[in-house]
Amino acid sequence: SAVISQKPSRDICQRGTSLTIQCQVDSQVTMMFWYRQQPGQSLTLIATANQGSEATYESGFVIDKFPISRPNLTFSTLTVSNMSPEDSSIYLCSVYTGNEKLFFGSGTQLSVL
């Protein structure tokens, strides 16, 4: 299994500001995944973060809006930039373990006013 520490657990932010979400994994992993879960919806993949290279973004998500850092094999950050109320969601990081199970952080519940 994997233990993922995600911070902050929740935040209320003003329109136009930015929030950086951190995820720390208790073991080294090649890829970390960032998801968004809008209210009442299922999960949508934002991007895949690889150590030592730029993140790979899914259709509809761009680096200017969701910059990602991956400085080492246990840590990653996702920034939600220039926020609007439409960005209010739960943001989740996740990793695969050796047995191919996907493990998630505890999530960041973001509300934008």
Partner 1 sequence: KQEVTQIPAALSVPEGENLVLNCSFTDSAIYNLQWFRQDPGKGLTSLLLIQSSQREQTSGRLNASLDKSSGRSTLYIAASQPGDSATYLCAVKDAGNMLTFGGGTRLMVKP
3 belongs to the binding site for partner 1 (CB under 8 A): no
φ, ψ at 23 (rounded to 5°): -135, 130
Residues whose CB is less than 8 angstroms from the CB of residue 60 and which lie 6 or more positions away in sequence, other chains included: none
With contacts defined by CB under 8 A, name the span among 12-20, 62-70, 80-88, 102-110 that binds partner 1. Answer: 102-110
Residues 31-50, one symbol each (x = binds partner 1 by CB under 8 A, - = not), give: ----------xxx-x-----
Here the tokens at position 29 are 């992993």
CB of residue 106 to partner 1, shortest distance in Å: 5
Q: Which of 17/41 has CB closer to partner 1?
A: 41
Q: Hey, which residues between 54 and 73 contact partner 1 (CB under 8 A)?
A: none
